[in-house]
Amino acid sequence: MRVFEEGSGVGGTWYWNRYPGARFDSESYSYGYSFSEELLQEWDWTEHFSPQPETLRYLNHVADKFDLRKDIQFNSRVKSAIYDEATQRWNVTLENGDSASGRFLITAIGPLSAPTLPNIEGRDSFEGQSFHTARWPQDPNGFGGKDVGFAGKRVGVIGTGATGVQVIQEVAKTAAHLTVFQRTPNFCAPLKNSPIDPATQKEIKASYPEIFAKCQQSGGA
């Protein structure tokens, strides 16, 4: 098996999306992998709704524990994948010119792998800093995003989807002025996040079979 990954590390959406406020919107313990009881018991989620840096640490822990990196080719973007009827194999070409072939091909890029920038007149000539949440500058010394420094600045945020709502709450803490541009207002409920205390942690680990059974039966499963 070979995995081609555009990024320089594991994590997928949690590797790319390092914007301020990024975190789970489901209980952390329901988001982890359920295939290994040992993994479930050894990992301690610190918050009910895990922040992005913790989630990325978890995914790196999984990759190291199960020695997954040996099968992953990082910094590799797929240019094309063509099925050859004669050989009954997929021929995959990367943007760097490398190629590979195999009987089976799984595309696991997700529906939102390519950032979409708004076609706003004057965007290219904007003299201030601008960031897309899906390509936030990375913290070179950690798993999170870089602190770009909003203190004392005038900031505009475009959009109030799930990502926008998370960003707005963090930027508003330090920005001198925040303007939010939205097309359709969203309804938001308080997250009511909190640390997971040792007693709750113990209870969660003893209840994983029931937790994942409920997840499978839920309407969003």
Which letter does DSSP use for residue 28 in this model? G
Residue with tokens 């990325």: 56
3-state helix, strand, coil in the chain (%, to 5): 30, 20, 55
Assigned token pair, 182: 């939205």
Residue with tokens 């303007």: 179
Residue with tokens 């050989």: 87
CA distances (Å), 113 to each of 17, 94, 140, 203, 215, in order? 10, 17, 22, 36, 25
Q: Cα(202)–Cα(205) distance, rounded to whole angstroms?
A: 5
DSSP 187-199: --------B--HH
Assigned token pair, 74: 């990082």
Nearest to 71 by CA among 7, 12, 5: 5
Q: Cα(45)–Cα(42) distance, rounded to whole angstroms?
A: 10
Strand, helix or coil for residue 183 = coil
For the chain, report the end-to-end CA distance as a whole number of angstroms.
27
pLDDT at position 173 is 96
Q: Are 66 and 58 in contact (CB under 8 A)?
A: no
CA distances (Å), 127 to each of 123, 138, 159, in order? 9, 22, 21
Q: Cα(90)–Cα(88) distance, rounded to whole angstroms?
A: 7
Domains of the chain with CATH codes: 3-110 (3.50.50.60), 149-187 (no CATH)
Tell me: the pLDDT tens digits for 161-218?
A: 999 999 999 999 999 999 999 999 888 889 999 999 999 999 999 999 999 999 888 7
pLDDT at position 185 is 87
Strand, helix or coil for residue 151 = strand
Q: Which residues of the chain have pLDDT under 70?
A: 219-221
Assigned token pair, 69: 């990196």
Q: Rounded to two decimals, what is the model's pTM?
A: 0.91
Strand, helix or coil for residue 113 = coil
